[in-house]
Amino acid sequence: MTGLRASRIGGPGPIEVGGTGAGYDVARVREDFPILRRQVRGRPLVYLDNAATTQKPQAVIDALGGYYSGINSNVHRGVHQLSELATEAFEAARETVRAYFNASAVEEIIFTRNATEGINLVAATFGRANVGEGDEVLISAMEHHSNIVPWQMLCEASGARLRVAPIDDRGELILEEFERLLGPRTTLVAVSHMSNALGTVNPVEEIVAIASRRGVPVLLDGSQAAYHMPVDVQALGCDFYVATGHKLYGPTGIGVLYGRRARLEAMPPYMGGGDMIASVTFEKSTWNVLPYKFEAGTPNIAGAVGLAAALDYVTAVGLDVIGAHEQDLLAYGTSALEQMEGVRLIGTARRKASVLSFVMEGIHPHDIGTIVDREGVAIRTGHHCAQPVMDRFGVPATARASLAMYNTREEIDTLVRALERVRDVFK
């Protein structure tokens, strides 16, 4: 909405919502995303690659510029004013993240480079301390590679076993099979909150409840879910939750790991270096308090400030109204694609969000992506870092249109016309 701006240079200050009104005004929201005004190949940009990364509102761009032009300095160590201001902005950003995910304390919020690093941090620290030979890590068959490979590496190093809960033909987790695989040797469950390749929203409340009854900690990969729906980590009851800033309308290179304080306290450090230590001698080092124990070296200060501005922006617009708008687009797009001859949707879960993955009979997804790009439409094609999902559905790849708060029904109409152009080319 016009008027959504960070009010403090370099900091995630309060955001004022310009204007009032009961409905969701997508046209006004679009005004705050300058890249949406550009053209691609001589046509207005239709950006439908949001599951890969979202575009940035002016509030985020201003926050990044304000940090670098106004208070750029290193944090935590300096006694001069710029360092104090940078530290204040950085730690204010942590509080903004805490509030967004409703963590109980800022000590439970660890800044990372992205969700992938958050998962690797847990695998390397919690895993190193708790997963041994004969133990099991349970994931699902719809996971992104980032929630598969770290656990494979851990299992290979420790002698543990990776178990995989299957999904059905709709792309839904088979909960009975998940519960059956949750055995006495399961030491960790790691599942996506929402699938990037299918759009499936997992029943994470039930997953956490089932695991918790057996004393098994749970990591949830919120890379996709966190920008489509409210996330309350205390209500979910999970032990770990990861998210990535660039999909939350924030900058690249910044991510979040939430961890229960007791879990984080018991875990060894992930990386050694500056700021994660309390004392260092050549004989022994001791570790800093949370969250700094897991934040070695100079952090992405500007990224944290930009992420806070993004979360303030999203919160000001309202996740509930954003979600309702995106569900309307998903229903509209699903209906439109289902009516197209030769198009098959991959992922038809009863509970899903904002992802339209599909194949066209006799046409490779890469060709689909190339041709629709000529019409100014940006979609993603390939295996979406989810090759096991492609294998499950018997396809090498899919074309994926993914939706965000600024997309419109008219843009879906443009996608459909572009897909008709694809079909004409291959007649």
What is the CATH classification number for the domain harbouring 177?
3.40.640.10
In this prediction, residues 136-155 reach a mean pLDDT of 98
Residue 6 lies in a domain: no
Q: How high is the pLDDT of residue 377?
A: 98
Residue 1 lies in a domain: no
3-state secondary structure of 60: helix
Residue 377 lies in a domain: yes
In this prediction, residues 303-309 reach a mean pLDDT of 98
| pLDDT(31) > 90 | yes
Measure CA of the first residue to CA of the last residue in the chain; give whole Å.
Answer: 43
Where is average pLDDT lowest: 1-5, 233-237, 243-247, 375-379? 1-5
Catalytic residue IDs: 385
Integer Cα distance of 92 and 187 in angstroms: 35
Q: How high is the pLDDT of residue 3?
A: 38
Give the pTM. Answer: 0.94
286 sits in the region (left: phi over 0; alpha: psi -120 to 50; else beta) called beta
Check whether residue 300 and residue 355 sit in a common domain: no
3-state secondary structure of 93: helix
In this prediction, residues 63-85 reach a mean pLDDT of 95
The domain boundary residue, chosen from 273, 298, 315: 315
Check whether residue 221 and residue 98 sit in a common domain: yes
Structural domain containing residue 372: 26-48+319-425
In this prediction, residues 374-402 reach a mean pLDDT of 96
pLDDT tens sequence across 393-408 = 999 999 999 999 999 9
Integer Cα distance of 220 and 121 in angstroms: 14
Q: How high is the pLDDT of residue 60?
A: 98
Check whether residue 215 and residue 358 sit in a common domain: no
| pLDDT(136) > 80 | yes
Check whether residue 38 and residue 78 sit in a common domain: no
Please name the helix (run of DSSP H) or strand (run of DSSP E) that holds residue 151, with its range, or none: helix 149-158
| pLDDT(135) > 50 | yes
Which band of pLDDT confidence, cut at 50, 70 and 90, is reported for residue 77?
Answer: confident
Q: How high is the pLDDT of residue 248?
A: 98
| pLDDT(6) > 50 | no
Check whether residue 303 and residue 337 sit in a common domain: no
pLDDT tens sequence across 314-368 = 999 999 999 999 999 999 999 999 999 999 999 999 999 999 999 999 999 999 9
The domain boundary residue, chosen from 277, 299, 315: 315
CA angle 115, 131, 140 (to 5 degrees): 50
Check whether residue 308 and residue 231 sit in a common domain: yes
Integer Cα distance of 374 and 424 in angstroms: 14
Which band of pLDDT confidence, cut at 50, 70 and 90, is reported for residue 373?
Answer: very high
Check whether residue 383 and residue 284 sit in a common domain: no
pLDDT tens sequence across 215-224 = 999 999 999 9
Check whether residue 325 and residue 384 sit in a common domain: yes
Amino acid at 61: I
Which band of pLDDT confidence, cut at 50, 70 and 90, is reported for residue 11?
Answer: very low
Check whether residue 150 and residue 189 sit in a common domain: yes
| pLDDT(2) > 80 | no
Number of domains in the chain: 2
Check whether residue 299 and residue 338 sit in a common domain: no
Do 320 and 230 contact (CB within 8 A), yes or no?
A: yes
| pLDDT(1) > 80 | no
Q: How high is the pLDDT of residue 23?
A: 79
pLDDT > 90: what percent of the chain? 94
Exposure b/e, 417-426, CB count within 10 A at least 16 = b: ebbeebbeee
Check whether residue 215 and residue 69 sit in a common domain: yes
Residue 55 lies in a domain: no
| pLDDT(13) > 90 | no
Please name the helix (run of DSSP H) or strand (run of DSSP E) that holds residue 251, with its range, or none: none
